[in-house]
Amino acid sequence: MAFALLRIGHIADTMEGSDSAARDDVAALSTALDSALTHLRAVTHGLRTPNVENLAPCDVARRAADDFARISGDSVNVVCDDGLAPTPMPVNITIYRVVQESLANSHKHAGAASREVRVTTSGGLVEVEIRDDGVGFDADESPGAAPLGLVGMRERVELLGGSFAVESIRDEGTVVRACLPLSAVGTDV
């Protein structure tokens, strides 16, 4: 795509004096290619593995919340049990992605005024809870048609032997809960 954009720029430079319709077409094509390249870069940036190696669960949740706040401009309250040791990379990536997706969903769909991420530990498990005060939704309205983001979060968590739940009531907000074993091992997810 970058090569095509360069070539279009070259073609535009050689079209000096050509009819305006052809120049307009080349300019439109250049704008479309530039927009597509920008979008592609944003998508691939989101696919990168987050830099969460050797972090404790609270630090991972804070990083995801901070990244969200920087991009969206919305603040997030993070409440954590501090003092935990770093957890395995698959656990950290899953925590990051669950927080990231939950906050993104809240921003896009909930119209929430506040968001909170809470990380607690007990009995070898870490629980991550993401709560908002947005519009909520009624999962019973479309049974079997869970949004793709929720399905992906559930799969990530269950792959590591954890549990995943969503509680949402229309006009009362949403709570996403992921409970993961602190010692989960396996492939990066």
Task: Judge whether 61 and 128 are in contact, CB under 8 Å.
Answer: yes
Mean pLDDT, 10 residues at a time, the chain of 189 residues: 77 78 83 74 57 89 93 91 84 94 88 91 92 81 61 92 91 92 61
Residue 188: what pLDDT? 44
Residue 176: what pLDDT? 95
**Half-sphere exposure at residue 63, Cβ-oriented, CA atoms within 13 angstroms:** 18
Residue 66: what pLDDT? 93
Integer Cα distance of 94 and 101 in angstroms? 10
Fold of 57-181: Heat Shock Protein 90 (3.30.565)
Q: Any idea where the domains of the chain sit in the sequence?
A: 2-47, 57-181
Q: Strand pairing of 163-169 and 125-132?
A: unpaired
Integer Cα distance of 5 and 28 in angstroms? 11
Residue 18: what pLDDT? 74
